[in-house]
């Protein structure tokens, strides 16, 4: 192994570390050796201190996992502040990439180096593949998050919400039934697994977006082994959101699907298997996507979508 290719990643979670339930899956197919240092917003806290972070009646919540496997509800704004403090404390000389390993955090975190934000990756994928007028189903891990996110919207799309517990087939099938009429379904938490996605897909026959797959794809693209160093986001000229929207509007529905899977980091063969088309057809669609999006590389494509779609957040 060429040690010069080794990339150093800081992984941040709203819970406690290590996240053995998520990270191994995400890092299993990295193109280069990756060293991960984990940081948790609840690391080092006692049970009493964690209990004090429970959401009040007027606070939005997040569900996360402790080191011993217990799941807890915590205040989104107060835990986000703790996570932001960790972000600011990171040494840019130590890490090539920062990963916010939690969905539901809409705020923009300051980071000394390039960042993958799970929530931004999810939103970018929805924006990239959902056609205007379509209905998107969003599955959260708790019922409380449905009410809290009732005001969440995506321009041009209709959203419907349900909830399910990861790994519980009956719960997942109930959520799938709730959202069976949707055009696209999103499993909006990194706690959801590939097995969960398969259950929803088989029950609905619809395309299902998995948060941890989007995060893994973004990490892979940003850790491109062909790059001598990871370019800072500011080094790229990112067009205005309206310009990117115009480019996405030029894509056919199939091209939108291919773009989504490309930005998940899947190979042409894997995309072909998912869409039941030939690898050669994928190559043709992929080339058209790159041309219409005016992206010189897959890495540029994912950064274009992530940065431009969320430039105003």
User: Tell me, what CATH number does 294's domain have?
Assistant: 1.10.10.10
Question: Do 164 and 257 share a structural domain?
Answer: no
pLDDT of residue 236: 41
Question: Do 189 and 100 share a structural domain?
Answer: no
CATH of the domain at 132: 3.40.50.2300
Question: Do 30 and 15 share a structural domain?
Answer: yes
Domain assignment present for 225: no
Question: Do 245 and 160 share a structural domain?
Answer: no
Q: Residue 96 in contact with residue 35, Cβ under 8 Å?
A: no
pLDDT of residue 306: 55
pLDDT of residue 51: 96
Domain assignment present for 140: yes
State which residues form the domain around 13: 3-117
> Among residues 89, 117, 145, which one ends one of the domains?
117
Domain assignment present for 133: yes
Low-confidence ranges of the chain (pLDDT < 50): 1-3, 225-238, 307-313
pLDDT of residue 106: 66
pLDDT of residue 249: 79
Beta strands in the chain (DSSP E): 7-13, 34-40, 61-65, 71-75, 97-100, 115-117, 135-140, 158-163, 184-187, 207-210
Burial (CB count within 10 angstroms: exposed 0-12, middle 13-18, buried 19+), residue 3: exposed
The backbone torsions φ and ψ at residue 212, rounded to the nearest 5 degrees and listed phi first, read -70, -25
Instruction: Give the three-class secondary structure for 42.
Output: coil
pLDDT of residue 222: 62
Q: What is the pTM of this model?
A: 0.69
Question: Do 163 and 130 share a structural domain?
Answer: yes
pLDDT of residue 93: 82
> Among residues 64, 86, 117, which one ends one of the domains?
117
Domain assignment present for 248: yes
How many Cβ atoms are within 10 Å of 122's Cβ, its own excluded?
Answer: 23
pLDDT of residue 243: 76
The rounded distance, in Å, linking the Cα atoms of 302 and 224 is 12
Domain assignment present for 249: yes
pLDDT of residue 117: 79
pLDDT of residue 312: 41
Question: Do 300 and 200 share a structural domain?
Answer: no
Question: Do 106 and 129 share a structural domain?
Answer: no
Number of compact structural domains in the chain: 3
Question: Do 191 and 276 share a structural domain?
Answer: no
pLDDT of residue 267: 78
Burial (CB count within 10 angstroms: exposed 0-12, middle 13-18, buried 19+), residue 249: exposed
> Among residues 117, 137, 168, which one ends one of the domains?
117
């Amino acid at each position: 192994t060429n040690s010069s290719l080794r990339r150093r990643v800081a992984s941040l979670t709203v819970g406690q570390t290590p996240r053995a339930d998520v990270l191994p899956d995400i890092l299993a197919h990295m193109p280069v050796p990756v060293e991960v240092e984990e940081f948790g917003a609840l690391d080092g806290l006692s049970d009493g201190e964690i209990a004090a972070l429970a959401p009040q009646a007027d606070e939005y919540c997040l569900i996360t996992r402790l080191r011993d496997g217990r799941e807890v509800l915590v205040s989104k704004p107060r835990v986000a502040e703790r996570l932001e403090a960790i972000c600011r404390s990171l040494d840019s000389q130590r890490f090539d990439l920062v990963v916010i390993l939690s969905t539901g955090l809409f705020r923009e975190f300051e980071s000394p180096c390039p960042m993958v934000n799970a929530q931004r990756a999810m939103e970018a994928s929805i924006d990239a593949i959902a056609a205007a007028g379509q209905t998107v189903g969003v599955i959260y891990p708790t019922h409380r998050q449905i009410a809290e996110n009732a005001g969440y919207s995506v321009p041009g799309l209709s959203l419907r919400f349900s909830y399910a517990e990861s790994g519980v087939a009956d719960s997942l099938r109930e959520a799938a039934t709730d959202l069976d009429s949707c055009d696209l379904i999103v499993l909006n938490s990194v706690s959801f697994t590939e097995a969960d996605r398969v259950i929803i897909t088989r029950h609905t026959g619809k395309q299902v977006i998995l948060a941890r797959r989007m995060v893994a794809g973004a990490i892979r693209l940003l850790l491109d082994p062909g790059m001598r160093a990871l370019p800072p986001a500011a080094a790229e000229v990112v067009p205005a959101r309206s310009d990117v929207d115009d480019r996405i509007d030029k894509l056919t529905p199939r091209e939108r699907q291919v773009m989504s899977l490309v930005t998940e980091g899947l190979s042409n063969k894997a995309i072909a298997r998912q869409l039941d088309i030939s690898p050669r057809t994928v190559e043709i669609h992929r080339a058209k996507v790159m041309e219409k999006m005016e992206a010189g590389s897959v890495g540029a494509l994912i950064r274009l979508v992530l940065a431009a779609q969320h430039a105003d957040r």
